[in-house]
Amino acid sequence: MKDIRVRIAPSPTGYLHVGTAHTALFNWLFAKHNKGTFILRIEDTDIERSSKEYEENILEGLNWLGLNWDEGPYYQTQRLELYKKYSQKLIDLGLAYYCYCTPEELEERRKIALQEKRAPKYDRKCLNLTSEERAKYEREGRKPAIRLLVPKGKTVFKDIIRGDIEFNNEDIGDFVIMKSDGIPTYNFAVVIDDYTMGISHVIRGEDHISNTPKQIFIYNALSWTPPEFAHLPLLLGPDRSKLSKRHGVTSVSEYKKMGYLPDALVNYLALLGWTPQEGKEVYTREELIELFDLRKVTKNPGIFDITKLEWINTQHIRSLSREKLADLTLPYLKEAKLIKEDSLNWEYYLKVISLLQERLKLLSQIKDYGDYFFLEELDYEKETVKKVIKHPEISKFLRMLKEEWEDLKDFSAHELEKSLKELSEKLNISTGTLIHPVRVALTNKTIGPSLYELIEVLGKEKTLKRIENFIKYLDANF
């Protein structure tokens, strides 16, 4: 394909939604696969609801996902003269007309149409106004909107994903292209923007299918060739309703905050509605670009499964170098005030990462799974301790173990394990009788990575000090 130009055109009326990110991703993949251009346009004509905060969130979210645009961002509010120019052209061609009907009048006629079981479309009351009638309305202070004159017949367009889609023009009615305040409606602005920006393919959600015939009317009225259309399946929640906040987190920035990797979210979103022939589930973005085929996108909705996303995130975390993972997890430890930059022993931290990497599903879990590596003292929880005390003489046994470990010259995982096993045999107790209390003594947790490897990383001084503190805790509470 030549001269591929696609766009993502979010409205800054909310945070970047995963549904918008999904659409942006498919446009981006299509552009990258075909060596085309990916354009960002901010559709900010809903002035009351648009905000700079939302706009910045959208830009940050797209950047975080790595969906870097080649052109833009363009802003519709900076293009108002362009919309005015083309709406006037349609007036001059006799293909659009001024409408002076008030919202109240339109609502009244809509109710009557519904009562009479007619389609509630515009009745063309203002189509053939005389100059006297127009002058009268203007003296009353009415500011006109501009409506497109919808042609008779049917409109058929070929959708890359769905094939031919047909609409009966009679069901649509003349629609507003410019509001009375001089702001273009969505369908008009998007056509002017897409044409003047040279958009070759409009790839968007299936909820825009009903907008397509209206946009084709505008293209035809201006004697322009429409782009190719592809309407993606929507994202649904597990209950198969449209993905919304009641299904959980929907904004991209929240996924970032929770500790998902951008590559993992891109990987997962790409598989919602499209399956590469390879049939595997974990992909790099380079593989996605190479394999992407818009014609293979399905019509079936994508079911957003947070468990699947978490699994894919886990696989991407495991594929990181420990240095990269250390960089990415560090902010979460700082936020939890577990470490300070100036006091961080980087080699120590890399050893911690090596131990925890296989356990992390989210980057943010570093502060829950590895807090004990950075705390000076542990605040033992009585219920947790109760679970691991299986022998009345456990304090005595732990003192003996501490003495054994104090004498170890080689404080390695192998020697630590050997020493504990020998003591267990000597005392005629199971190794678990010692292992479980030692784990709680050192971590305040009942599960975690290999105990002996953990101790080796924690170090001799900190290990012996915590066992001593734990023995004191047991003597005072049990």
Q: What is the distance between the terminal CA atoms of the chain, rounded to a whole angstrom?
A: 75
**Residue 263 near residue 309 (C-beta atoms within 8 A):** no
What is the full DSSP assignment across 108-151? Answer: HHHHHHHHTT-------TTTT--HHHHHHHHHTTPPPEEEE-PP
Do the first three CATH levels of 80-232 and 321-373 match, i.e. the same topology? no
Superfamily of domain 5-69+235-310: HUPs (3.40.50.620)
Q: Identify the pLDDT of residue 205.
A: 96
List of E strands, 362-467: none
pTM: 0.92
Q: Is the dihedral of CA 116, 118, 121, 127 positive or negative?
A: negative
Query: Which residue ranges make up each domain of the chain?
Result: 5-69+235-310, 80-232, 321-373, 376-478
- Per-residue burial over 194-230, b if 16 or more Cβ lie within 10 Å, else e, is bbebebbbbbbbbebbebbbbbbbbeebeebebbebb
**Residue 431 near residue 421 (C-beta atoms within 8 A):** yes
CA-wise closest residue to 447 among 365, 374, 375: 365
CA distance 279 to 385: 47
CATH dotted code for 80-232 = 3.40.50.620
What is the full DSSP assignment across 253-274? Answer: HHHHHHT--HHHHHHHHHTSS-
Fill in the DSSP letter of residue 157. Answer: E
- The tokens describing 177, both together, are 């292209």
Torsion of CA 267, 273, 277, 281, to 10 degrees: 30
Catalytic positions: 245
**Residue 62 near residue 27 (C-beta atoms within 8 A):** no
Q: Is the dihedral of CA 70, 73, 76, 79 positive or negative?
A: negative
Looking from the CA of 328 toward its CB, the CA atoms found within 13 Å total 25
- The tokens describing 260, both together, are 């998902």
**Residue 288 near residue 96 (C-beta atoms within 8 A):** no
- According to CATH, the topology of domain 376-478 is Arc Repressor Mutant, subunit A (1.10.10)
Looking at 2.30.30, 1.10.8, 3.40.50, 1.10.3470, the CATH number of the domain 321-373 comes to 1.10.8
Question: What crossing angle do the helices spanning 460-477 and 394-406 adopt, rounded to 10°?
Answer: 160
Phi–psi pair at 382, nearest 5 degrees:
-60, -40
- Per-residue burial over 308-347, b if 16 or more Cβ lie within 10 Å, else e, is ebeebbbebbeebebeebbebbbebbeeeebbeeeeeeee
CA-wise closest residue to 339 among 312, 373, 306: 373
Q: Identify the pLDDT of residue 1.
A: 57
Query: For residue 174, which amino acid is it?
Result: D
Averaged pLDDT, groups of 10, the chain, 478 residues long: 90 96 98 98 95 97 98 97 98 98 93 88 94 95 97 96 96 96 97 98 97 98 98 91 77 96 98 88 96 95 94 98 97 92 87 97 97 94 92 95 96 97 96 97 96 97 97 93
